[in-house]
Amino acid sequence: MKKKVLFIILGSCIFLLISAITTLSIIRSHIKLYLVDGNRVNVQVFTEYKDNGAILKLGKKKINSKKYKVKVTGKYDTNKTGMYKVDYDVKYHGKELHEVKIVSVYDDIAPELTLNLEKVSKDYCTKKYKQEIKYTAKDNYDGDITDKVVVKEEEDKITYTVTDTNKNTTSKEVQIDYGTKPSNKFSLKGQSKVYVVVNNDYNEQGATYTDGCGNKINKEIKISGSVDTKTLGTYTITYEVDGEKAITRTVVVREKPHKIIYLTFDDGPGANTKKVLAALDKYNVKATFFVTNQFGGGKYQYLIKEEHDKGHAVGVHTLTHVYKNGDPRNIYASVDAYISDFNAMNEIIKEQTGSYTKIFRFPGGSGNTVSKSSSIGVVTAIAEEMTKRGYVYFDWNLSSGDASSGKVTSEKIINNVLNHVDNCAYNCVILFHDYKSQTANAIEPIVKELVNRGYEFKTLSEDGPTVHAKIKN
């Protein structure tokens, strides 16, 4: 009996052991390691990500993770884009469980591209832009990437494209506005009104026909009309291109005019004075130079001697040409200040020419009002004192306009003189400034035309006729 009971107990133990082993085997085969956030996580760069770890589950039942600690290896950096691997390992009753999580730190924010213009004007002829296009590019990840902007210019637009390190791209366009296409242009060579002294030759200078950009159009220009230079009168020359365009020139045949031209140049000598002298030499025309010492620290003084040696008249236009109130060199501060400056310039003239000059011109002319801010009545007082000392001042009755505010072209200077010379007095004193490059370029065509018109040229002198403006101070 006892032996039977022993066998029963032993059998039960063996059964229980087999059952336990079978149960453990079943549990081990069904235990799983779960990643709370899944096996792949996408994280925007510069944002915070907190890993929620891993847990053991048997079916739907969560197993106490404190007893079975999960080991985590691998790191990720949410401040730097890339793919990061994180491993999770745990042992459960001798079974090793392993899972891998991929943390993808990404950047999908496109760079910020800023342009100062949405439309830009472009010169139709020169193809040059009238405004400057400025741009900047900033990226949340790369920072300033302006140097990575790619510019592509097409006929009607400019495209600006920038791509950051993470392949995010931004593009913007600027439209190009060419404005209205300039029309074809008919232009006369020379003046629209030409004067010929009777029995002298008329030289036909012709005309040009160009597109709006100044490019010659190869079409024949038909010239009609004639000039009888033996008969006084007004004649018209017509220029046509295929009947589509026409322009005319007036030719006046007249007696030799009774007018004397005095070409006068202020403010020099300077860098462009030699070119002026060369143009005068070419036509054997003499002029008057009212000189200063304001350019090059005296390096142009030798040109005063050259002016004198070529037969031109030399007068004083002051040493410094400074008449700004408050400046210690201000020539209009007082009569003594003016005369002191005047004498210093006259000494330089004597050094270069061998003698003092008796003629001068006030900076700004005798009718200037700028001197009022320095001393009331100073110009009147200077004129009286200088006259007592035997000096003679000169103004002008025709200005070339070369000293006008803003940029004045050579063509404008030429037209200012040639279109108004007939309106000035018998003694026509014309004002120029020989230090200006536009003036230097305009002198030859002006002199050539005035010579063709039959005018006589003279230089100013202390015993000749004067032209005075009304003194206003």
Q: Give the DSSP per-residue string, 150-198.
A: EEEE-SSEEEEEEE-TTS-EEEEEEEEE--SPPPPEEEESS-SEEEEET
156: closest CA among 113, 200, 121, 104?
121
| pLDDT higher than threshold 50 for residue 22 | no
Burial readout 329-345 (b: 16 or more C-beta within 10 A, e: otherwise): ebbbbebebbbebbeeb
| pLDDT value, residue 194 | 85
| pLDDT value, residue 67 | 73
When comparing pLDDT for 57 and 268, which is higher? 268
Domain 112-177 in the same topology as domain 30-106: yes
Kindly report whether the global pTM for this prediction surpasses the value 0.85: no
Q: For the ranges 7-21, 47-61, 98-112, which has the lowest average pLDDT?
A: 7-21
Q: For the domain 112-177, what is the CATH code?
A: 2.60.40
Residue appearing with tokens 């059952």? 19
Secondary structure class of 428 (helix, strand, coil): strand
- Rounded Cα distance between 386 and 350, Å, is 18
- Pairing, β 61-63 against β 54-58: antiparallel
Query: Are the C-beta atoms of residues 344 and 329 closer than 8 Å to each other?
Result: no
| pLDDT higher than threshold 80 for residue 310 | yes
- Rounded Cα distance between 160 and 167, Å, is 16
- Rounded Cα distance between 106 and 166, Å, is 8
Secondary structure class of 298 (helix, strand, coil): helix
Number of H helices, E strands in the chain: 7, 28
Outline where DSSP puts E strands in 164-310: 169-177, 185-188, 193-197, 207-210, 222-224, 233-241, 245-254, 260-266, 288-291
Residue 7, C-beta contacts closer than 8 angstroms, at least 6 positions apart: none
Amino acid at 368: N
| pLDDT higher than threshold 80 for residue 468 | yes
When comparing pLDDT for 109 and 242, which is higher? 109
- Rounded Cα distance between 85 and 104, Å, is 9
| pLDDT value, residue 179 | 83
- State mean pLDDT over 324-343: 94
- State mean pLDDT over 141-154: 94
- Rounded Cα distance between 103 and 75, Å, is 9
- State mean pLDDT over 368-392: 94
The dihedrals phi and psi of 299, each to the nearest 5 degrees, come to -65, -15
Secondary structure class of 426 (helix, strand, coil): coil
| pLDDT value, residue 214 | 85
- Rounded Cα distance between 329 and 465, Å, is 32
Between 2.60.120.200, 2.40.110.10, 1.25.40.10, 2.60.40.10, what CATH number should domain 30-106 receive?
2.60.40.10
pLDDT digits (tens, 9 = 90+) for 223-237: 999 999 999 999 999
| pLDDT value, residue 11 | 54
Q: For the ranges 11-25, 72-86, 333-347, 391-405, which has the lowest average pLDDT?
A: 11-25
State the Rg of the chain over Cα: 48
- Rounded Cα distance between 4 and 30, Å, is 39
Total Cβ atoms within 10 A of residue 230:
9
- Rounded Cα distance between 106 and 128, Å, is 43
What are residue 235's DSSP bridge partners? 251
- Rounded Cα distance between 47 and 79, Å, is 8
pLDDT digits (tens, 9 = 90+) for 186-215: 888 888 888 888 998 898 989 999 988 888
Amino acid at 52: N
Question: What is the fold, at CATH topology level, of the domain defined by 185-253?
Answer: Immunoglobulin-like (2.60.40)
| pLDDT higher than threshold 60 for residue 266 | yes
- Rounded Cα distance between 2 and 67, Å, is 43
| pLDDT value, residue 20 | 47
The two structure tokens encoding residue 220: 């024949």
Query: Are the C-beta atoms of residues 357 and 315 closer than 8 Å to each other?
Result: yes
- Pairing, β 207-210 against β 193-197: unpaired
Amino acid at 140: N
- Rounded Cα distance between 110 and 305, Å, is 72
* Dihedral of alpha carbons 273, 278, 279, 285, sign: positive
- State mean pLDDT over 406-434: 92
Per-domain residue ranges of the chain = 30-106, 112-177, 185-253, 260-457
Residue 473, C-beta contacts closer than 8 angstroms, at least 6 positions apart: 368, 369, 371, 372, 376, 377, 378, 379, 380
Q: For the ranges 57-61, 233-237, 340-344, 457-461, which has the lowest average pLDDT?
A: 57-61
Amino acid at 160: Y
Query: Are the C-beta atoms of residues 409 and 415 closer than 8 Å to each other?
Result: no
| pLDDT value, residue 23 | 47
| pLDDT higher than threshold 90 for residue 58 | no
Q: For the domain 260-457, what is the CATH code?
A: 3.20.20.370
- Rounded Cα distance between 427 and 56, Å, is 116
The dihedrals phi and psi of 460, each to the nearest 5 degrees, come to -80, 150
- State mean pLDDT over 69-87: 93
The two structure tokens encoding residue 299: 């390096």
